[in-house]
Amino acid sequence: MAIEVTFLMIIIIGRWLLPKGKISRSALSQLLLVYLSLASDMIDLLSIFQEDKVIIDTEMIYSTLAVFSWSTFQFSLTLVASRGRTFRIESDNQSENIQLTSKKQKNRRSNPPKIKSTCQKLASSELPSIFITILMQDLPFLIIRLIAVIHFKVHSYTTIFFTCKNLIILLLQFYRLWSICIEHIDQNEQIDFDKRSSTRRSLPITDLSNTQLILHDNRMNQIA
């Protein structure tokens, strides 16, 4: 237990001492708070080894250690936006101005159509981070704790609390996925509606311009 605690604390403190990169200090502080919440959940998973019925079963021990090892890989991933938080890259003003000027120069040289593929939209959204937290943290932890509570009859307050916590987080994550998909569909419908309304508005303008040109030509012919 002590080795795992020191390992997780080294990960958190090491991430704090490392260069922050392109994220801001506020985003880094939120990321470290998320790391602490994940570490507390992971440490509590190992507390089921204190039960006599669990420590006898070797399959349960190996499966718990495998889930714990699997969950530690999420600290090495850059797509960390778990527990409802999104960490976007916040650069300085000078770098943003340089990027804007470079983009404007590129657009002046050539104006290609800016069409993002679906893969790019998914990668830039919160969906990968939500799937990472579901598959590497909440879902396997819930399965292990349910096995401990139902099969091995572990009825400690901390185990039941964290089991309910994992279940609620899973429901909230799935609700978040559903809301993102609904928002994406609504945005596409709104864009289509705006395009149709803009085309309808442009049609009478063209008709008026054509009629004005015809009247002007008729007047010029009468004067001539």
Q: What is the mean pLDDT of each run of 10 residues along the chain (224 residues)?
A: 82 85 81 86 89 90 94 75 44 49 51 52 72 91 94 90 94 90 72 61 52 58 60
- Domain span at residue 7 reads 1-90+124-190
Within a domain: 186? yes
Within a domain: 84? yes
Tokens 């943290």 belong to: 137
Within a domain: 211? no
Within a domain: 61? yes
**DSSP-assigned states of every residue in 101-152:** HHHHHHHHH--------HHHHHHHSSHHHHHHHIIIIIHHHHHHHHHHHHTS
Q: Provide the pLDDT for residue 211.
A: 53
> How do residues 83-97 score in pLDDT, each as one tens digit?
444 444 444 444 445
Long-range contact set of residues 116-123: C-beta below 8 Å, sequence gap at least 24: 121/184
> How do residues 94-105 score in pLDDT, each as one tens digit?
444 555 555 555
Within a domain: 116? no
Q: Please name which of 40, 64, 68 lies closest in space to residue 158, comparing C-alpha atoms.
A: 40
> How do residues 1-40 score in pLDDT, each as one tens digit?
678 788 888 888 888 888 877 778 888 888 888 888 888 8
Q: Provide the pLDDT for residue 12.
A: 86
Within a domain: 160? yes
Q: Provide the pLDDT for residue 196.
A: 64
Separation of alpha carbons 39 and 3, rounded Å: 13
Q: Provide the pLDDT for residue 189.
A: 63
Separation of alpha carbons 77 and 74, rounded Å: 5
Query: What predicted TM-score, i.e. pTM, was given to this entire model?
Result: 0.67
Question: How many folded domains does the chain comprise?
Answer: 1
Q: Which two tokens stand for residue 187?
A: 């945005």
Q: Provide the pLDDT for residue 93.
A: 47
Within a domain: 109? no
Within a domain: 197? no
